[in-house]
Chain A
Amino acid sequence: MLGIIRQKAFGQSLQRIRPVASSWRGYSSTSKQMMVREALNSALDEEMSADPKVFLMEKRLGNIRVHIRSYFLTSNCGFMFMISKGLLEKYGPERVLDTPITEAGFTGIGVGAAFYGLKPIVEFMTFNFSMQAIDHIINSAAKTNYMSAGQISVPIVFRGPNGAAAGVGAQHSQCYASWYASCPGLKVLAPYSSEDARGLLKAAIRDPDPVVFLENELLYGESFPVSAEVLDSSFCLPIGKAKIEREGKDVTITAFSKMVGYALKAAEILAKDGISAEIINLRSIRPLDRPAINASVRKTNRLVTVEEGFPQHGVGAEICASIIEDSFGYLDAPVERITGADVPMPYAANLERMALPQVEDIVRAARRACYRSVPMAAAQSY
């Protein structure tokens, strides 16, 4: 039976994926599991195969031997180069380019190639390094279609891991979702599951506008079930639409990327308390799916926003404002925000844990929104 599914679901392109890639997949008897890293790889492969204008710019980590790779995988350092595994051999060095470590230079080159009509996918080793190139992302990519009154479009994708990894310290842990999402002209996507990764990356590559694609290093190795539809090479998710990961009726919890997983765990815990939480996986930070979030809050009347990034001027602040503007009368409690701590990311494991949202933080905030915890007045100490 599995064989038959393979025939229907696996299009022509997947037969060209080299056998070594298939060793990543674990099979359950009922549904296929796919790692996020493989989902991204397959999306890149299929889009490069479909359109010769698509090419990749990345920092290849060269010929690191397999045993070193597996060591790093098990010790959870998560090297990113696995995302484009096999693509160099398949498409050649003209389409899978190895760049020097000069972000401003190669990002500008990518944007210039997009001006001419190619479709570059520029990889940042992490989005922290995108700050070196941020002028090109904002001023050269995001604004050009507007300034040229539509003459010059920029069909480029900027992708890479975003947010905190594990123990990498302050300069390597920032979440850039709210910075990029505030800029008109950009689209900003943040996948969670493998389905998200495949569908949103394919959508991003096909989209004629500049897209910032925020992955998460710690999710690369996680497996999710994928249906036959997801595995089809024409599969694509719409940009700007959130997904209700879990339906509920007492409180809405919005999250994106890794925090979706935490929110789902929190929902399990809350369910035991009789609180039914609706979990929204934003998928798209810009454009934000305001209708979906508002519809959910109008149903539940309570909202908790969850994000990994810094609290001030963050994604949750925007969602809160949007709810107040459009659904104020429906709120039965103040909006709660769970975010990263307002500090640069510390290294020590205990402090790092405190600097990031944990499942218990989400649970506590949801309880507060449902008036199931100590009243504010008693807890206030300033």
Chain B
Amino acid sequence: MALANFSSSSRSNLLKPLAPVLSFAETLRRPISTSTDPLIIETSVPFTFHNCEPPSRSVETNPQELISFFRGMATMRRMEIAADSLYKAKLIRGFCHLYDGQEAVAVGMEAAITKKDCIITAYRDHCTFLGRGGTLLEVFAELMGRQAGCSRGKGGSMHFYKKEAGFYGGHGIVGAQVPLGCGLAFAQKYSKDETVTFALYGDGAANQGQLFEALNISALWDLPVILVCENNHYGMGTAEWRAAKNPAYYKRGDYVPGLKVDGMDALAVKQACKFAKEHVLRKGPIILEMDTYRYHGHSMSDPGSTYRTRDEISGVRQERDPVERIRKVILAHDLATEKELKDFEKEIRKEVDQAIAQAKESPMPEPYELFTNVHVKGLGTEAFGADRKEVRAVLP
């Protein structure tokens, strides 16, 4: 049984900080989720590194954080599965790129940074947005094109933003977000904010020319940018070994240091991001390659099984699922019971269902919204609808 295997093989790796107190645990259990006593846990695999010294495999965390990881990832998982159903029910139109399987990257990254640091990603952005403080209602409403959406229904799945929390989208053009992210880092350095930017991209975008152009400039100018390759091994339907002559993306920066991280281990992600943040504030850009996996296809129009075997997908789900990993860590350290975790999941399911119901209540944008936000300063110019004799508006 997987749990037994995990316990027997990894208990030797895990320190036992609460061992003497454990006998009291059953009788004197205080609400575990608020404990911030430090826990040291080893990452599942060591870091592979290029041109730098890797961080330690021992990650400092605490019960509260681990519980929040579990809740965060379980919410993201539930949200993406619900989005799948909504898409099939035709309530979501157009594009819908789902992140389930990759939740550890979003959650681990958030644990290492603040909301003053910036994150920019491509179109697989629902969970990253949630991690930055977005609500389920904002997500579902935006997916369904309603007013309560984070972009008031005008953006859609690929265009979520939350500037006040340092989330800069949400971009549909593969690779474009990387130079934009380097620009954010430039602005942070220019403003002397002592904050950093994480520019996320996939293995598909890793071969884009503009990425290397931006990386060159970032290295020249010592910009505090971390390029994070979320390598889920398939760029749309093309396996990485078919798209890249050198699929060791953490090494592709050449003169730029790189670190390869197990992207299914939220603690490893946290450690790597913490390390990267300290690095770039002093020494210029770094590349993090997150070895991760997406259970869904590239988008809702891709079943995801024409270029991968079902065995591969279920194999990863069995062996490396990020939510299951944290569940095991929590149970192994006796931070919560199985029932408590299951209760969390039930709660989350209810939250998601409530958010969907609320989002369905939200109306579609008013017709005048067609012409809002074209400019910040419209100068009173006229904009036209399809039939300009019928529909004309003055831009405010």
CB within 8 Å of B: which residues of A? 55, 94, 97, 99-100, 102, 104-118, 135-136, 139-140, 144-153, 155, 184-185, 187, 207-209, 238-240, 287, 290, 325
Contact = CB atoms under 8 A, between A and B. Distances in A.
B375 interface: yes
Interface string B368-387: 00001111110111110000
B12 interface: no
Given A99-B217, A112-B182, A94 B190 contact: yes
Nearest to B377: A208
18 contacts: A107-B179, A108-B178, A109-B180, A109-B186, A112-B181, A112-B186, A113-B183, A113-B184, A113-B186, A114-B183, A145-B373, A148-B170, A149-B151, A149-B152, A149-B373, A151-B161, A185-B375, A208-B375
B179 A105 contact: yes
A152 B379 contact: no
Contact of A152 (B154, B163, B210): B163
Interface string B321-362: 000000000000000000000000000000000000000000
Contact of B375 (A114, A139, A145, A147): A145
Contacts of B212: 105
B191 interface: yes
Nearest to B159: A147
B171 to A, nearest CB: 7
Given A105-B179, A105-B217, A112-B183, 16 more contacts: A100-B213, A104-B209, A108-B213, A109-B179, A109-B214, A112-B120, A116-B191, A145-B373, A146-B374, A147-B170, A148-B159, A149-B152, A151-B163, A152-B163, A184-B374, A208-B377
A104 B210 contact: yes
Query: Which of A111, A146, A238 is the most central at the interface, judged by chain B CB atoms within 10 Å of its CB?
Result: A146
A105 B213 contact: yes
B28 interface: no
A284 to B, nearest CB: 9
A207 to B, nearest CB: 6
B216 interface: yes
Interface string B141-173: 000000000011111000101110000111111
A108 B179 CA distance: 5
Contacts of A139: 171-173, 176
Contacts of A207: 377
A102 B212 CA distance: 10
A119 to B, nearest CB: 10
B161 to A, nearest CB: 4
A115 B184 contact: yes
B154 A146 contact: yes
B74 to A, nearest CB: 28
B217 to A, nearest CB: 6
Contacts of A100: 213, 216-217, 220
Nearest to A156: B183
B90 interface: no
A348 to B, nearest CB: 35
A237 B176 CA distance: 33
A107 B188 CA distance: 17
B388 interface: yes
A154 to B, nearest CB: 9
Contacts of A113: 183-184, 186-187, 190
A314 to B, nearest CB: 19
A116 B170 CA distance: 15
Given A108-B183, A145-B374, A152 B161 contact: yes
B216 A209 contact: no
B118 interface: yes
Residue among B185, B214, B375 with max Cβ neighbours from chain A (10 Å): B375
B373 A109 contact: no
B123 to A, nearest CB: 12
A148 B150 CA distance: 8
Nearest to B153: A149
B176 A140 contact: yes
A9 B190 CA distance: 33
A209 B380 CA distance: 14
Contacts of B214: 105, 108-109
Given A109-B182, A136-B179, A151-B151, A209 B213 contact: no
Given A148-B159, A149-B152, A153-B376, A102 B187 contact: no
B389 interface: yes
Contacts of B120: 112
Nearest to B381: A287
A362 to B, nearest CB: 28
Contact of B190 (A102, A118, A150): A118
B253 to A, nearest CB: 14
Given A108-B182, A240-B381, A116 B213 contact: no
Contacts of B161: 147-148, 151-152
Contacts of A150: 372-373, 376
A106 B374 contact: no
Contacts of B190: 55, 94, 113, 118
A325 B159 CA distance: 36
A115 B182 CA distance: 11
Given A102-B213, A105-B214, A140-B176, A148 B183 contact: no
Contact of B183 (A116, A238, A240): A116
A375 to B, nearest CB: 33
A215 to B, nearest CB: 21
A285 B93 CA distance: 35
A325 B387 CA distance: 11
A99 B373 CA distance: 31
A117 B184 CA distance: 9
B176 A135 contact: yes
Contacts of A187: 375
A326 to B, nearest CB: 10
Given A115-B168, A116-B118, A109 B388 contact: no
Contacts of B170: 147-148
Given A105-B217, A287-B381, A116 B188 contact: yes
Nearest to A150: B373
Given A102-B217, A150-B373, A325-B389, A112 B154 contact: no
A108 B227 CA distance: 15
